[in-house]
Structure 1
Amino acid sequence: MAFPFFGDSKSTIAQLLATLPQQGKLEWIGLRPARRAELLAVPEAEVLTDSRLAGDHASPKSGGKRQLTLVQHEHLAAVAGFLGLDGPVAPGRLRRNLVVSGLNLLALKGRQVQIGESVVLDITGECHPCSRMEEELGPGGYNAMRGHGGLTAHIAQGGTIRVGDAVRVLPTPTEIAKA
């Protein structure tokens, strides 16, 4: 079945899913210095290839799919709304490493993104909420986060990231071949 796309009646769902022309922005970076510790907001961080953020307590296995977690900036207000809070939830309370605005993160599953000049992440899947959300956000925290938990990523290429860096979707090999 074809769907119209910029006047092209022969476009397919696959083409629509691959069309991500927007560029996002890195809004926040958080490090967990120890297990269950409060996340520390930092203006920049070193991203270690196939590992983690330098200074973060997590020590995932090489090749792991959850070396880094991302959450949608726009969802901070939605989660707060579900909890009846005034204003958005502070990013550190969601226990994710990176907060990104301007891109629909769920559209990035299975894609690669570049943050800043050199960091490349393989977006590996959804980051579902855990029972810690009840502790952190209060009663209903778990359900408020359902559908808003963000994504997990494998670090394909490390480097330094900074708050304000651009977040760009990288073309797939098929998209490169067609160009």
Structure 2
Amino acid sequence: MQRPPADSELGKLMATLPRPGRVEWIGLRPARMAPMDEVGEVVAETGAGLAGDRYAAGSGKRGVTLIQAEHLPVIAALSGHAAVSPATLRRNLVVSGLPLVALKGRRFRVGQTLLEGTDSCDPCSRMEAALGPGGFNAMRGHGGLCARIVEGGTIRVGDAVVALPDAS
């Protein structure tokens, strides 16, 4: 969906968020198929990824993956689990308090780091094994957001997630 002009009524509505979000959890994928490492802080590298993550040297468009904390219970319910650990879903940051979908195509700060939401973070076929039959579909629409790192810095659990005003 193309974003409406920033000065239109819909553009103004889409730019207005109720409050900043908060980083609740940070995880790194040290290698393919390896368990995630939960950390309290991480260095985000400009144009790359998170130090210690297997995708750190990869595509800048997917330098960081984020998932909505409020969606974890939904994914658990839809996949038939009492709860789902963030590590199971293999996203780097769990964020609460603001709708991540509103950050797609926008710049936002997470701690010292400037990110830009690039695309939805759709589930992969591995979610079927991780969550059981139907796990892939349980995550559809709840997979989160991919972001590129515009300005690197340190991200810590508890950091604010703040959308920046549109440049236009």
Both structures adopt the same fold (TM-score exceeding 0.5)? yes
In structure 2, stretches of 5+ residues that fail to align are 1-7
Residue in structure 2 matching 1:109, options 96, 104, 110: 104
What code does the residue aligned with 2:103 have?
Answer: L
Match of residue 45 from structure 1: 42
After the TM superposition, which residues 19-168 of structure 1 pair with which residues of structure 2 at under 5 Å, given as runs? 19-58=16-55, 59-61=57-59, 64-86=60-82, 88-116=83-111, 118-168=112-162
- Superposed CA RMSD in Å reads 1.4
The alignment-based identity, stated in percent, is 57
* Matched position secondary structure for 2:62: coil
Shift of residue 78, structure 1, vs aligned partner: 0.3
Q: 1:13 is matched with which residue: 1, 10, 13? A: 10
Partner Cα distance (2:16, 2:146) in 1: 21
1:69-103 Cα offsets, whole Å, 9 max, x none, are 100000000000112211x3100100111110001
User: What is the TM-score when the length of structure 2 is the normalising length?
Assistant: 0.92
Runs of 4+ more than 6 Å apart: none
> Displacement of 1:156 after TM fit?
0.3
SS of structure 2 residue aligned to 1:129: coil
The answer to whether residue 161 in structure 2 is matched with residue 172 in structure 1 is: no
SS in 1 for 2:130: helix
Q: Distance in 1 between matches of 2:62 and 2:30?
A: 17
CA contact (8 A) 2:18 2:98 kept: no
SS of 1:75's partner is helix
The structure that has the greater radius of gyration is 1
Aligned residues: 161
